Amino acid sequence: MPGRIAVSRASSDHEILTAVDAWVADHVPEPWRRASAEGGRDAIRRVRSRSEYEAWYPTFADSGLAVATWPVPYGGLDLTPDQSRVAEGVLARFNLGRLNPLGLNSAAPALFAFGTEEQRQRFLPPLVRNEEKWCQLLSEPGAGSDLASLATQAARDGDEWVLTGQKVWTTWAHVSDYAICLARTDPKAPKHKGLTYFVVDLHAPGVDVRPLRHIGGEIDFNEVFLDETRVPDNRRVGAVGEGWRVAGATLAGERQMVSGSGSGGVDRIGGSGVERVIRRARELGRHREPALRQRLMQLYSEERIRGWTNDRVRATILAGGTAGPAASIGKVHQGSLNQRIQLLAVDVVGPGALAWNGAPVSTIEEWAESLPFEVRGMLRSRANTIEGGTTEVNKNILGEKVLGLPREPDPWSGKPWDEVPRS
Ligand SMILES: Cc1cc2nc3c(=O)[nH]c(=O)nc-3n(C[C@H](O)[C@H](O)[C@H](O)COP(=O)(O)OP(=O)(O)OC[C@H]3O[C@@H](n4cnc5c(N)ncnc54)[C@H](O)[C@@H]3O)c2cc1C
């Protein structure tokens, strides 16, 4: 395959190191390499814009290194987890974050575990190259934590399904091409049993994507209306009525992404890491204040522990295991940790972090643009304990699956979905 680096399971670690080094020298743009050598990952961020990185990204994907453990036909190199770590050791210096995180962390695990060979060949290579972007149509106005109670209907019509309903909080739907979607195919079955999992083309007739603004004024998520949207049966993932099981692969992947242990290159959702906050405290001469130092040190330690825990989860996954409940532990910890870091960042800046700096603005875009970096991060981080499953719900999962506590009582368990009261 063009651009693919010539390594395989038969390669020694030394051969992998040599091949990846050579690939970096030939393909990673020279200013990024120089910045990495002079100032590490932060320096790269300064010389590399997001659009530049996106334009270059297919080169990275074509090398196979973006998903090195995946089989070759889907865009990987079929390396073992240990071999992939050797390659990652070289790449880490250049901060090559994986694009299309919901594709990689949510859609791909479901396609690997339950998709057909035809679906994998059709969808995975363009997903890896970030040529087709993905989002997930799961939550609805009346179904978030209790996702299995969702009401979007899918009715069979020959070789197609007709989907009608409303989804909400759909991150990146306004820039996506495809979505994974959970819909109800049997309202007479108990709620978990009557669901089926589909791949929906967001450019198909009947799909209406309406952007929503979050508290920081930016557009990240959307409401999506499906009005008799037709989905061919060959875009169904898994068996009819098995959607909840397929969604299991998706949801663990999303929790890993939000906890920072997933493959999306998203280490933190909203704001900066503690090291940057420490640098800012130094710039402002506040790093000698004892109370502030104590908070900085505590969060720095916690962030390091979070990073090591994420490394452990990644290693388990690379070794062929599953994240399991560890994804929920990471999700609960990362959500609150990031919120505390961003609040500290605002405290360090003090009055300079006022959300409105007095300059006149006439549109919400101008206001969002005018927000200090720290305020933007702090506002965005408020969602960390909600997105990917709320902290309360993840604690329920931990209570039941890790601590073995009794399940939450459900008086409607086993009853047909259409007889159960809904919000
Ligand atoms: C930034 C952001 C991005 C998102 N992106 C997506 C996306 O791309 N795709 C998608 O499908 N969804 C997305 N979501 C939706 C997200 O998954 C839901 O918001 C979340 O699961 C909570 O559902 P809800 O908002 O309906 O709240 P509800 O389920 O109505 O919960 C309300 C409150 O009740 C608590 N609660 C509910 N049930 C229990 C219980 N059993 N025990 C204890 N407490 C409980 C909750 O913790 C919460 O505090 C996103 C949300 C956010 C904030």
Query: Are 303 and 330 contacting, i.e. CB atoms less than 8 angstroms apart?
Result: no
Distance from Cα 387 to the centre of ligand 1, integer Å: 6
Task: For residue 167, give the ligand 1 atom closest to its CA.
Answer: 11
Extract the tokens encoding 239. Answer: 């068996």
Task: For residue 138, give the ligand 1 atom closest to its CA.
Answer: 11
Percent of the chain with pLDDT over 70: 93
Whose structure tokens read 């900066």?
272
Extract the tokens encoding 236. Answer: 């169904």
From atom 23 of ligand 1, which residue's Cα is the shortest distance away? 144
Distance from Cα 389 to the centre of ligand 1, integer Å: 5
Distance from Cα 309 to the centre of ligand 1, integer Å: 25
Which residues does a 6 A CB cutoff place in the pocket of ligand 1? 135-136, 138-139, 144-145, 169-171, 221, 383, 386-387, 389-390, 392-393, 396, 408
Q: How far is CA 207 from its chain centroid? A: 23
Q: Given CA atoms 304, 305, 308, 313 in this order, what sign does their dihedral have? A: negative
Q: Is residue 242 annotated as part of the catalytic site, yes or no? A: no
Listed residue (180, 220, 173, 176) closest to 197, CA to CA: 180
Percent of the chain with pLDDT over 90: 68
| Residue 106 per-residue DSSP state | I
| Residue 409 per-residue DSSP state | P
Query: Are 183 and 151 contacting, i.e. CB atoms less than 8 angstroms apart?
Result: no
Cα separation, 346 vs 369, in Å, equals 17
pLDDT at 402 over 90: no
pLDDT at 268 over 50: no
Angle value at C-alpha 414, between 413 and 418, nearest 5 degrees: 95
Q: 266 vs 24, 273, 310, 329, 411, CA distance in Å?
A: 22, 12, 12, 17, 39
Residue 43 pLDDT: 84
**H or E, element range at 123:** helix 117-128
Mean pLDDT of the chain: 90
In this structure, of 2-16, 118-132, 308-322, the range with the lowest mean pLDDT score is: 308-322
Whose structure tokens read 């240990």?
82
Q: 79 vs 32, 274, 295, CA distance in Å?
A: 26, 34, 42
Task: For residue 137, give the ligand 1 atom closest to its CA.
Answer: 11
Expressed in angstroms, the distance from the first to the final Cα of the chain is: 52
Distance from Cα 254 to the centre of ligand 1, integer Å: 13
Distance from Cα 323 to the centre of ligand 1, integer Å: 21
Residues near 130 by beta carbon (within 8 Å), at least 6 away in sequence: 54, 57, 58, 61, 99, 100, 103
Q: pLDDT confidence of 267, banded at 50, 70, 90?
A: very low
Of the residues 254, 303, 374, 387, only one is catalytic, namely 254
Residue 227, CB-side half-sphere exposure with 13 Å CA sphere: 7
Q: Given CA atoms 46, 48, 50, 51 in this order, what sign does their dihedral have? A: positive
pTM: 0.90
Return the amino acid letter for 98: R
Cα separation, 269 vs 384, in Å, equals 7
Q: 211 vs 51, 89, 136, 206, 208, CA distance in Å?
A: 21, 39, 15, 16, 10
Length of the chain: 423
SS3 143: strand
Distance from Cα 144 to the centre of ligand 1, integer Å: 5
Q: Which domains occur in the chain, in start order?
A: 13-97 (no CATH), 117-248 (2.40.110.10), 250-401 (1.20.140.10)
In this structure, of 91-95, 137-141, 174-178, 200-204, the range with the lowest mean pLDDT score is: 91-95
Highest mean pLDDT among 27-41, 162-176, 406-420: 162-176
From atom 32 of ligand 1, which residue's Cα is the shortest distance away? 145
Q: pLDDT confidence of 265, banded at 50, 70, 90?
A: very low
Cα separation, 164 vs 143, in Å, equals 15
Query: Are 257 and 101 contacting, i.e. CB atoms less than 8 angstroms apart?
Result: yes
Cα separation, 171 vs 164, in Å, equals 19
Query: Are 308 and 297 contacting, i.e. CB atoms less than 8 angstroms apart?
Result: no
Listed residue (99, 105, 67, 143) closest to 250, CA to CA: 105
Q: What is the largest CA-CA distance in the chain?
A: 71
Average pLDDT rounded to a whole number, residues 326-336: 85
Strand partners, 196: 183
Q: pLDDT confidence of 252, banded at 50, 70, 90?
A: low
Residue 202 pLDDT: 98
SS3 196: strand
Q: Give tens-digit pLDDT for 44-80.
A: 888 999 899 999 999 999 999 999 999 999 999 999 9
Q: Give tens-digit pLDDT for 196-246.
A: 999 999 999 999 999 999 888 888 899 999 999 999 999 999 999 999 999
pLDDT at 416 over 90: yes
pLDDT at 266 over 80: no
Ligand 1 pocket check: which of 176, 328, 336, 390 to mutate, most ligand atoms within 8 Å of Cβ? 390
From atom 43 of ligand 1, which residue's Cα is the shortest distance away? 392
Ligand 1 pocket check: which of 176, 334, 387, 400 to mutate, most ligand atoms within 8 Å of Cβ? 387
